[in-house]
Amino acid sequence: MTTSAAVIDDAAAYARAVQDAGRAAAAYYAGGTSTLDDDAYDRLVRGIAAWEAEHPGQVLPDSPTGKVAGGAAEGDVPHIVPMLSLDNVFSAEEFTAWTVSLGRRIGREVTRFHVGPKLDGLAVAARYSNGRLTRLITRGDGTAGEDVSHAIGTIEGLPAALAEPVTVEVRGEVLMTTAQFEHANEVRTAHGGQPFANPRNAAAGTLRAKERAYTVPMTFFGYGLLPVPGTTPALTERLDTSAHSDLMELAAGLGIHTSARTAVPDTVAQDPEQVLARVQEIAAARADLPFGIDGIVIKADLAADRQAAGSGSRAPRWAIAYKLPAVEKITRLLEVEWNVGRTGIIAPRAVLEPVVIDGSTVTYATLHNPADITRRGLLLGDHVMVHRAGDVIPRIEAPVAHLRTGDERPIAFPEHCPRCGSDIDTREERWRCAQGRNCHLVASLAYAAGRDQLDIEGLGQTRIVQLVDAGLVGDLADLFTLQRDQLLGLDRMGETSTDNLLAAIAKAKTQPLSRVLCALGIRGTGRSMSRRIARHFATMDHVRAADAGAMQQVEGIGAEKAPSIVAELAELAPLIDRLTAAGISMTEPGATPPATAEAGPGGDGTAGAPAGSGPLAGMAVVVTGAMTGALERLTRNEMNELVERAGGRSSSSVSKKTTLVVAGEGAGSKRAKAEQLGIRLATPEEFAALVAGFLD
Ligand code: IVH
């Protein structure tokens, strides 16, 4: 995880590097426009530090190693106590070494640690006088910062009045959540402005902007509370002597937003091992957080330990930032591809100049739809900020507008379906080929035949292409009327393969309704939604008879989705009729139609086995990690089907409502979240024993 250092081999390169770092830091803290991404900046500073270690007599006064980060910003309001920065570590080894040196400095082991997310925003000091927010100041050079009190009222979590009339300074980070960032860029570009490259820049630019025609909300996270002139002696004493964990509780009690109610609340750790375990948990949760973090901040919790450690001119010695790998990099947008999916959706995809983010090379990023491209104001050739965290598909956050050269070109939207040349239906945000799912017949048939849908063995992509090219199959229903001699007439289809394929197709006719629904590829309904619809309605006739209101009775289907599902089912009516005529089972075993199931099994669309009967009755189960033992061969979908057969409800995300998490090998953030919420965990083997009677 250690960030490698930039190579600096002479004094001139060193001076240049110091200048580059200064320019980047100024941009970073001042105007919301970065010239280097975080990773590149960290590498540069490490290179500078390495050169300085070899040439201690030649350290330049402007070196970023000797000063408070962000020192380039101008400020006119003095800070009561300097606003310092933090030193960084990049690995468990470096962290352990830091605890050892801290222990040596204070002459004893640190009593306990406070561990919390390192919010990726910018530091501000908020002064409250008799409980009223009177002044907001940026960090500036650490000794004095800029007055940004005009932003009061636009920052969620920083109330105009505290719960008690105290005089105190709250310090913390102002940032934009992902949703606030998207909103800010939409509003900004609608007003003719350039989009911000990432949430951090957006928060920096927005905080400092004085006269804007619009305001966009930001979010505050408090991480410090200190006395100011006017603070009562009793409160001063309390602030000076309290453990950091108590100060954070006090802040939350006053109405200040802290990390407490997020998925990564601050915690207390008794020793370095516990700290490292918590670091792993926070790192695992990072990809799913609705705000950016760039590390974990670890502090000595007790005031006595902090006082004994003291502070240097740049950073306190009692705290350290454990930096996580950067999830954002700047690269170039080379091309936009338009791909037609199995349902006929024409989706844009960004082709990028390859860039390594957290160890993987990123070449593509999602772009949701044409409107998304317009909203983001993207141009071909743009430098773009790319975000990639965990297993989530990389996304473009925004163009880095100030790096534009003028050579960028508009992105051309297709006028005809790029696959079949038909017209494009542009009525909805997501464009669709007028041929719908017939446009990419091979993809839609391959999906329908897949293991989690109709599970037709021997019907892979190549065979489907063969069948379509030979004119034997024009839609899903045609599969079920294929004749033996038709198949025998095809290349590489002997008697055995033909009979095997026909047997597999015949077997598919007995698949439950949930899998048939899924095979139809109704937009917005994947495997788990198809199961819920099937359990709720029990038969295809009931599904088809449902209007939007009835469809909304299914858990997870809201007012927006219901009409589109109903409309799509209507569009599919001729195909469904032919499937029924071909003898496909159109019922869900164990489920009862809604009219007769007011209080009965499956009536709420969630239960699998008769309600209250299976071993998982009333339980919400999440499966994560690789399955082993008796469950080894089950796909995630089959695991979810098993959960539902055994009376439980399957879900893909862990929340307070989850009752059991089946955690296999390599389980990461979901397991961590379950542990944090105190949810029961089971190994695949324990779970297999629990549902033994329901395994096929
Ligand atoms: S404590 C003396 N806690 O990270 C400084 N800082 O890179 C004590 N930051 O200057 C700061 N999250 O602006 C602290 N949970 C957290 C933080 C945090 C983000 C920022 C802060 C600091 C910078 C250092």
pLDDT digits (tens, 9 = 90+) for 519-565: 999 988 999 999 999 999 999 999 999 999 999 999 899 998 999 99
In CATH, 77-323 is 3.30.470.30: yes
**443 Cα distance to chain centroid:** 28
Cα gap 593→534, rounded to integer Å: 9
- Spacing, Cα 105 to ligand 1 middle (Å): 22
Q: What is the mean pLDDT of residues 270-283?
A: 96
CA dihedral defined by 279, 281, 282, 284, rounded to 10 degrees? 120
When mean pLDDT is compared across 213-217, 510-514, 596-600, the lowest value belongs to 596-600
| SS3 of residue 113 by DSSP | strand
Instruction: Tell me: pLDDT of 72 over 70.
Output: no
Q: Report the alpha-carbon distance of residue 290 to residue 296 in Å, rounded.
A: 16
Token couple for 144: 């004095």
Three-state secondary structure call for residue 648: coil
What would the CATH number be for the domain defined by 11-66?
A: 1.10.287.610
pLDDT of 609 = 54
CA 29/CA 18 separation, integer angstroms: 16
Ligand 1 first shell, C-beta below 6 A: 84-86, 116, 118-119, 123, 173, 223, 297, 316, 319, 321
Q: Of 292, 291, 285, whose CA–CA distance to 653 is shortest?
A: 285
The answer on pLDDT for 38 being more than 90 is no
- Which overall architecture, per CATH, does domain 612-696 show? 3-Layer(aba) Sandwich (3.40)
Note the CATH architecture for domain 436-508.
Answer: Orthogonal Bundle (1.10)
158/257 Cα distance (integer angstroms): 7
Q: What is the mean pLDDT of residues 128-146?
A: 95
Q: Answer whether 427's CB lies under 8 Å from 412's CB.
A: no
For every residue of 504-551, DSSP letters joined together read HHHHHTTS-HHHHHHHHT-TT--HHHHHHHHHHH-BHHHHHH--HHHH
Among the four given CATH numbers 3.30.460.80, 2.40.50.140, 3.40.50.300, 2.60.120.10, the one describing domain 328-425: 2.40.50.140
Per domain, the residue ranges of the chain are 11-66, 77-323, 328-425, 436-508, 612-696
pLDDT in the model for residue 666: 87
Cα-based distances in Å from 309 to 2, 85, 110, 268, 576: 26, 16, 10, 19, 73
Label residue 659 exposed, middle or buried (CB < 10 Å: 0-12, 13-18, 19+). middle
Closest among 55, 257, 101 to 170, alpha carbons compared: 257
Residue with the two structure tokens 């700290």: 275
Q: What span, in angstroms and rounded, lies between the C-alpha atoms of 90 and 68?
A: 19
Q: Which residues are catalytic?
A: 118
pLDDT given at position 25: 75
Residues 388 and 360: beta-carbon distance below 8 Å: yes
Would you call 374 helix, strand, or coil by DSSP? helix
On average, the pLDDT of the chain sits at: 91
Q: What burial letters (b/e) apply to 36-49, b meaning 16+ CB within 10 Å?
A: bbbbbbbbbbbbbb
| 545-550 CB contacts, 8 Å cutoff, 24+ apart | 550/594
List the Cα angle 202/208/210 in 5-degree steps.
Answer: 115
To test the pocket of ligand 1, the residue of 28, 86, 257, 258 to mutate (highest count of ligand atoms within 8 Å of its CB) is 86
In testing the pocket of ligand 1, which one of 223, 267, 278, 289 has its CB within 8 Å of the most ligand atoms? 223
The phi and psi torsions of 339 (rounded to 5 degrees) equal -110, 140
